[in-house]
Structure 1
Amino acid sequence: MKRKSVTSRDVARLAGVSQSAVSRSFSPTAKVSEKTRKKVMEAARELGYRPNTIARSLITRSSRTIAVVTYSLENPFYSFVLEKASRFFQEQGYHLLLFFAPPGRDFDAVIDDIIKSQVEGVLMLAITIDSSQAKAVADFDIPVVIINRTVNHAGISQVGSDNYRGGYWAASHLATLGLSRIAFLAGLVDSSTSGQRQEGFFDGLEEHGLTCHAMDVGNYRYDDACFATRRLFSAHVVPDGIFAANDLMAIAAMEIIRHEFNLSVPDDVSVIGFDDMPMAAWPSHSLTTLRQPVDEMIMKATELLLAQIHGSQTEPQYIKLPVAPMVRRSTRRPARRSPPGPVA
């Protein structure tokens, strides 16, 4: 015999509250007393009640769903960012749908998938798009915020770090160590973050009367950075310092330098990364790096997206946050005083 489905009316009757109180109790942002919410939850558990979120979305015209678009989770930094964003949206009663848009994939197809999902907003995590693609996203009239990338389009809000100043600090710090053969390990060639970090790095070297000794591309990936480091250290004259455009590549570089070329980090080669992902501080890495303000970045981006969804913020914003140097044991002691932090 088919079991009768439990309704919110049944829960309300058992809990001794109104049906609207049941509905409010299952909405994290709705105003309801803790006593009432507790009674409703106890009744729901006893009856085996589950709210029909699909039916609710049809009534309210609100899916309570946010699309998160990223190209990869190989970099632990973005897994860290995604976790923090998920926790924030969950507290606000929203669900996340994860979409992958790796380089080379048809971005229009990804946008089509997002539109079909009827999400209320889009959070782009380290996605590189051009101005025409940005316009295509904006034309669908869905609120969009990009984290840790910049795009030349005034219609999309963007939240990121001061990549230029971070690159400038890295060059200045390596120069104060008395190093002269300083190399750059770039990220994705067309990414704004890698380009801005490179620009700041080159300007910082020039300020100290230096030029970039060598440069290779690691595409922000561990394996690619290993290959790039092998090429750099197979040259006749090898670097004595490396600035990698993210921590994952910096750690890959240190592994190759130590275990394949039998050189010391930091005695033979000093290494600096960018991000300050949690494993950067592990004793086996102890990586000198530029810390991105993840908590503030997520808070700004998610609050900005929700403000656009609710209509309280209509004008797109571009927010640039300062980075802070974290000096650890992957760089040797300075020959003279290093630049202070934070980097503003």
Structure 2
Amino acid sequence: MARVTSQDVARRAGVSQSAVSRAFTPGASVAPETRSRILAAAEALGYRPNKIARSLITRRSGLIGIVVGYLDNLFYPTVIERLSRGLQERGFHALMFFTPPTAETDEAVLRELLEYQVDGLIMVSAGLSSTFAARCSAAGIPVLLFNRTLDDPSLSAVSSDNVAGGETIARHLVACGHRRIAFLAGWPGSSTSRDRRRGFVAELKRQGLDLYREDVGNYDLETARAATRRLFAEPPIPDALFCANDHMAIAALDVLRADLGLSVPGDVAVAGYDDAPMAGWAAYALTTVSQPPDEMVAAALRILLANIAAPAPRPERVRIAGRLILRASTRAIHEPPSA
């Protein structure tokens, strides 16, 4: 069978070929009656738009690269699903790339991005070197950092207000009566872990306390388990622990209860960050700071797609306030510690 073209649809619907093109372009201006007539003609002829041919005309691939460095934390699969769905609704499609979370995105990923001619790039929990960013800019590819920031002012970024979130956790733990408060950091190269620690330590100092102990969990379950054992190896043990994300907090809870036989929150309170799905499970009931994925994804899509459409990208930084979610891993403020 001969391939049905947009010209065939235009003749059957009695419209121009450009009207057919607009009818199949999300957000394009076309009268509702005209669109209905075009869609009816396309259905009758069995027409399907040729996206490859269209990309040659528009010089847009319709592809958005999403570079992911870390999916163990269940906050990120939620984000990826919502980013992908949001892109589809706007006429784009996600192309996934994976890179180690503790390393800068490498040249192999960059080559693939350029070969696929992606229209934009979202970095989700992935490192980005200044060289990589410069080459994307030179290729006209707008870059947005999701839940991570860099000092480079040419890059857009969307994150929660991690400093404020750390402050919130510190105030809560101090209000609950804790004085020996420890911190379990994520990957040291991550701005999220650094900012959460910065806010946390600054608020403890305002409350007249120093950080009691700290260790590094690298956002990894086994590393976080080993770090938790070190933090609680010598008495007097911490009476509260703030983990830089929920994934590590889950690991810490398992060690504290199953390995060390401690009561949570009777012997030690535990708090995390993200409000990942597991945090709400009854077995963990983790107090945490919620990162609002819907608001963060909406901001990311708005900024990136505006920069794709603009003659010259205008970098934008957005920090979205999180919310303290109180659950059973920390005691109520008026509740005294166990004897």
TM-score when normalising by structure 2? 0.89
Corresponding position of 1:302: 301
AA in 2 matched with 1:165: A
Deviation of 1:33 after TM superposition, in Å, equals 4.5
AA in 2 matched with 1:328: R
Q: Counterparts of 1:169-180 in structure 2 under 5 Å?
A: 169-180=168-179
Aligned residue pairs, count = 334
Q: Counterparts of 1:261-272 in structure 2 under 5 Å?
A: 261-272=260-271
Q: Distance in 2 between matches of 1:316 and 1:71?
A: 22
Corresponding position of 2:75: 77
Helix, strand or coil for the counterpart of 1:206?
A: helix
User: Which of 14-23 and 233-242 deviates more?
Assistant: 14-23
Structure 1 residue 94 and structure 2 residue 92: aligned?
A: yes
Corresponding position of 1:134: 133
Unaligned runs of 5+ in 1: 337-344
Q: Counterparts of 1:263-282 in structure 2 under 5 Å?
A: 263-282=262-281
Helix, strand or coil for the counterpart of 2:319?
A: strand
Q: Counterparts of 1:40-119 in structure 2 under 5 Å?
A: 40-41=38-39, 43-45=41-43, 47-102=45-100, 103-104=102-103, 107-119=106-118
Deviation of 1:66 after TM superposition, in Å, equals 1.0
Corresponding position of 1:208: 207
AA in 2 matched with 1:49: Y
Helix, strand or coil for the counterpart of 1:307?
A: helix
CA displacement 1:73-93 (0-9 Å, x = unmatched) = 221111111111112211110
Helix, strand or coil for the counterpart of 1:137?
A: helix
CA displacement 1:86-127 (0-9 Å, x = unmatched) = 122111101111111213466232222211211111111122
CA displacement 1:259-317 (0-9 Å, x = unmatched) = 22222221222111111123322333221111123222222221111111111773312
AA in 2 matched with 1:266: P
Percent of matched pairs sharing the same residue: 47
Kept in 2: contact 1:307–1:313 (CA 8 A): no
Mark the CA change 1:106 to 1:279 in structure 2 (over 3 Å): closer, same or farther: closer
Corresponding position of 2:186: 187
Q: Distance in 1 between matches of 2:106 and 2:50?
A: 33
AA in 2 matched with 1:142: I
Kept in 2: contact 1:182–1:214 (CA 8 A): yes
Q: Distance in 2 between matches of 1:44 and 1:251?
A: 53
Corresponding position of 1:151: 150
Deviation of 1:168 after TM superposition, in Å, equals 1.5
Q: Distance in 2 between matches of 1:177 and 1:136?
A: 50
Kept in 1: contact 2:156–2:317 (CA 8 A): yes
Q: Distance in 1 between matches of 2:90 and 2:215?
A: 43
CA displacement 1:182-205 (0-9 Å, x = unmatched) = 111111111111011111111122
Q: Distance in 2 between matches of 1:72 and 1:54?
A: 31
Q: Distance in 2 between matches of 1:87 and 1:118?
A: 21
Corresponding position of 2:123: 124
Deviation of 1:47 after TM superposition, in Å, equals 4.5
Corresponding position of 2:283: 284
Q: Distance in 1 between matches of 2:138 and 2:239?
A: 49
Q: Distance in 2 between matches of 1:61 and 1:140?
A: 13
Corresponding position of 1:227: 226
Deviation of 1:331 after TM superposition, in Å, equals 0.5
Helix, strand or coil for the counterpart of 2:57?
A: helix
TM-score when normalising by structure 1? 0.88
Helix, strand or coil for the counterpart of 1:249?
A: helix
AA in 2 matched with 1:150: T
Q: Distance in 2 between matches of 1:262 and 1:42?
A: 68
Deviation of 1:37 after TM superposition, in Å, equals 4.3
User: Which of 301-310 and 42-51 deviates more?
Assistant: 42-51
Mark the CA change 1:335 to 1:206 in structure 2 (over 3 Å): closer, same or farther: farther
AA in 2 matched with 1:233: F
Mark the CA change 1:252 to 1:182 in structure 2 (over 3 Å): closer, same or farther: same
Helix, strand or coil for the counterpart of 1:50?
A: coil
